[in-house]
Each structure stands twice: as structure tokens, then as C-alpha cells.
């Protein structure tokens, strides 16, 4: 009888411990139709296109995350997350887990420490201050995707929130012998950043400093491997959320004569007209400093991007969206409404000095 009671007690204890662990499957799926005009065709002219696209409002993704209660206010955590292209069924660039793959430990008193692959610190931090939350048309457009990268070999720390303030730091090792700053071919080199945030019911503020190096360990391109200084703010007034930010980019290792600085500004607002319907409008401006350009470097130029978007909630997890945008380039500017690298194998940029209009409609489902 004692043995039976002991076995039951042990089973109950094991079940209680097991109940303190959890694994959650999550994700979102985004698909729709897109229009874009004035795409340089490589023959001195330009073309328009209609296309079925996934991920215009936000990256489609699939993930698994889990936590285990370790007692004393501590827990072990993990997150595995990959991008998904629903139009052709592929995942993130040949990686099993393209966006996040980390393990860590968190504590209510001292914060969270984790190791693995993750969104680069500015990608993790800029979206909250972007009126278009880093859609295909967003703050990423005029910086050619500089602020939505991922890095490997990260050690990352998140502090607890103290009177509205919190700090996040990230350090990405290059993992290469003989050159501490270098990275593997096709990967970023040693990169790092720190982020300070203040949240309150009325407004939020955030400052970021980060360093994103190329595989050679150099700051060689303002929009792919550079230093970044960011400050942004949100203000909530009744049904309106007003958002503004400024970013400075510096790439001191750029080739001689090439532009090595850029300044990026934006201002926008979202009106939550009804519980289901919201409208967002914003303007984004980029100024590339003095200097020439080449295949992968933008020359001295400037551009203004105007965007208008709307969402309509069909349920708590599904909504429809529509966005239209127009970019006005200076004489040398080739910026697209989309965040396409200058040397992209799938370019969307117009001819120098040409404007461009883009639009998309679609549906997002979150699970």
C-alpha cells in the first residue's frame, strides 16, 4: 500500500513539473496581389508588373517556442522561427530556421540572456516606431532593407523593465580564425548593438546604436554594412498614434569617392477609426551624402516616399489590408517603393531620377 501511494505521489509530482513546461506553435500567413510601375528593364527603358505576392504586409512565418519553469522566478526558453513564402512554399533562404533559433534563460529580477540566431537589434527595435511596421512599403524602403536583417552567433541580453525603462544588448561573433571582425562567406561579420527604451501610456521613446559589418569585417556600404544611430518616438492621442524617427548611417570603409553617409527621417500617423478599421499615412525621406556610386553603392541623392494604407479586421486573428505608395527621386536617385538592394538579382528600382508607384492588397492570418 505504501509503495502504491508512493508511486501515485511521484506520478502526481512529475505531472505538476511537466505542467510547468510548454511548447507553442505560432505563425502568420500573408498573401495578396501587387502592382509596381517604372521598373528599370536593363535596356534603358522601364516596365510595369502585376504579381501574386506573399509577405507584403508582413513576413509569413512559422515558429515553435517554449518555456520551462526552473523555480525561483527563473525559466529556460527557446524559439525556432523561419520565414515562409506562401506563393511557392519555400522557406527562408535555404535555412531551416531563418529568423530565430536561440536558447536562453530568463529571470524576473535580472532579465533574459540568450544565444543563437535572431533578428538584428535594429530590426527588432525599429518596427515599433514605424507607422507601416516594416511592411514591404515602410521605413525599410529607402534604406534598401538595412533595418530588417538577421544575424547569427548572437549573445543577447534583455533587462527587466524598471519604471518604464529597459535595455537590450546584442553581440554577434564572426567565428572566423585570424580576423576577429570577419564573418563566413555570405554572412555578416562581427556585429553588435545596444537599445534603450522608455514606454508609458502616453508616449514611447527609443534610442539604438548598432554596428553591422560585412563578411570582411568592414563598414563598406551605408545600406548593407554600416554604423547606425537611431532615435524614435510614439505619441498616442485619443484615436491617433503619431510616430517619428531619425536615423544616421555611416560606412567609413566604403571605397574612395563613394558616398559613405546617409540620413533618414520619417513622420506618420495611424487613426483607429473603429475597432475594426484603421488608416495610416506617412512620409519617409532619405538623403545620401556627397560622393559617387557604383553597382552596389548609391551616389549622392535624395528621395521622398509617400504611403497610405488601411487594415480591416475580420476577426481577432485575420485582417484585410491595402497600401499604396509613391516615391519621388532626385536626379541620381534610384530608390524603389520596396526595399530592394541596389545590386539585387530581382530589381524593382526605377531609372535614375524617375518616380515610381506601387500598391498591394491582401490578407493576413495569425495563428
- One DSSP character per residue, 193-204 reads EEEEEEE-SSEE
**Does the pLDDT at position 4 exceed 70?**
no
**Does the pLDDT at position 17 exceed 50?**
no
Q: What's 89's DSSP letter?
A: T
Residue 123's pLDDT is 95
Mean pLDDT of 114-123: 97
Q: What percent of the chain has pLDDT over 90?
A: 92
**Does the pLDDT at position 15 exceed 90?**
no
Would you place residue 138 in the very low, low, confident or very high pLDDT band (cuts 50, 70, 90)? very high
Residue 321's pLDDT is 98
Mean pLDDT of 158-174: 98
Neighbour count for residue 86 (Cβ, 10 Å): 14
Residue 187's pLDDT is 96
Q: What percent of the chain has pLDDT over 70?
A: 95
| Residue spans of alpha helices (H) in the chain | 2-19, 121-126
What architecture (CATH level 2) is domain 28-366? Beta Barrel (2.40)
From CA 71, how far away is CA 22, in angstroms rounded? 15
Mean pLDDT of 281-308: 98
**Does the pLDDT at position 19 exceed 90?**
no
Mean pLDDT of 38-63: 95
Task: Evaluate the CA torsion angle 107, 113, 115, 120 in order and state its sign.
Answer: positive
Mean pLDDT of 4-23: 49
Mean pLDDT of 20-30: 95
Mean pLDDT of 245-268: 98
Would you place residue 58 in the very low, low, confident or very high pLDDT band (cuts 50, 70, 90)? very high
Predicted confidence (pLDDT) per residue in 301-310, tens digit: 999 999 999 9
Would you place residue 8 in the very low, low, confident or very high pLDDT band (cuts 50, 70, 90)? very low
Q: Exposed, middle or buried: residue 250 (CB in 10 Å: 0-12, 13-18, 19+)?
A: middle
Nearest partner of 357 among 367, 348, 346, judged by Cα: 348
From CA 264, how far away is CA 307, in angstroms rounded? 16
Would you place residue 94 in the very low, low, confident or very high pLDDT band (cuts 50, 70, 90)? confident
In sequence order, the 6+-apart residues with CB closer than 8 A to the CB of 97 are 80, 81, 82, 117
**Does the pLDDT at position 10 exceed 90?**
no
Amino acid at each position: 500500500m505504501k509503495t502504491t501511494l508512493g508511486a501515485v505521489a511521484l506520478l502526481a509530482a512529475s505531472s505538476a513539473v511537466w505542467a510547468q513546461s510548454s511548447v507553442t506553435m505560432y505563425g502568420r500567413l500573408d498573401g495578396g496581389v501587387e502592382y509596381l510601375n517604372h521598373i528599370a528593364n536593363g535596356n534603358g527603358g522601364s516596365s510595369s508588373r502585376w504579381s501574386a505576392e506573399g509577405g507584403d504586409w508582413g513576413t509569413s512565418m512559422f515558429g515553435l517556442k517554449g518555456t520551462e519553469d526552473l523555480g525561483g522566478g527563473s525559466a529556460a526558453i527557446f524559439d525556432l522561427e523561419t520565414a515562409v513564402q506562401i506563393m511557392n512554399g519555400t522557406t527562408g533562404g535555404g535555412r531551416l530556421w531563418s529568423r530565430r533559433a536561440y536558447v536562453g534563460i530568463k529571470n524576473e529580477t535580472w532579465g533574459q540572456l540568450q544565444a543563437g540566431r535572431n533578428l538584428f537589434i535594429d530590426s527588432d527595435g525599429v518596427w515599433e516606431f514605424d507607422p507601416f511596421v516594416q511592411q514591404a512599403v515602410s521605413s525599410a524602403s529607402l534604406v534598401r532593407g538595412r533595418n530588417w536583417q538577421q544575424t547569427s552567433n548572437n549573445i543577447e541580453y534583455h533587462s527587466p523593465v524598471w519604471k518604464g525603462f529597459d535595455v537590450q544588448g546584442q553581440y554577434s561573433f564572426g567565428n572566423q580564425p585570424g580576423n576577429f571582425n570577419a564573418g563566413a562567406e555570405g554572412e555578416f561579420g562581427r556585429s553588435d548593438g545596444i537599445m534603450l527604451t522608455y514606454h508609458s501610456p502616453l508616449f514611447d521613446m527609443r534610442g539604438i546604436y548598432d554596428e553591422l559589418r560585412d563578411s570582411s569585417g568592414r563598414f563598406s556600404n551605408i545600406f548593407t554594412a554600416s554604423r547606425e544611430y537611431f532615435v524614435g518616438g510614439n505619441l498616442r492621442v485619443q484615436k491617433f498614434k503619431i510616430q517619428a524617427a531619425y536615423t544616421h548611417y555611416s560606412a567609413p570603409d566604403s571605397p574612395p569617392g563613394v558616398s559613405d553617409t546617409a540620413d533618414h527621417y520619417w513622420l506618420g500617423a495611424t487613426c483607429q477609426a473603429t475597432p475594426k478599421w484603421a488608416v495610416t499615412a506617412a512620409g519617409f525621406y532619405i538623403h545620401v551624402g556627397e560622393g559617387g556610386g557604383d553597382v552596389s553603392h548609391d551616389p549622392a541623392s535624395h528621395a521622398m516616399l509617400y504611403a497610405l494604407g488601411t487594415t480591416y479586421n475580420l476577426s481577432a486573428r485575420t485582417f484585410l489590408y491595402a497600401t499604396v505608395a509613391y516615391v519621388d527621386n532626385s536626379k541620381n536617385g534610384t530608390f524603389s517603393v520596396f526595399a530592394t538592394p541596389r545590386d539585387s538579382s530581382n530589381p524593382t528600382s526605377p531609372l535614375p531620377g524617375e518616380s515610381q508607384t506601387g500598391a498591394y492588397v491582401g490578407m493576413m492570418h495569425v495563428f
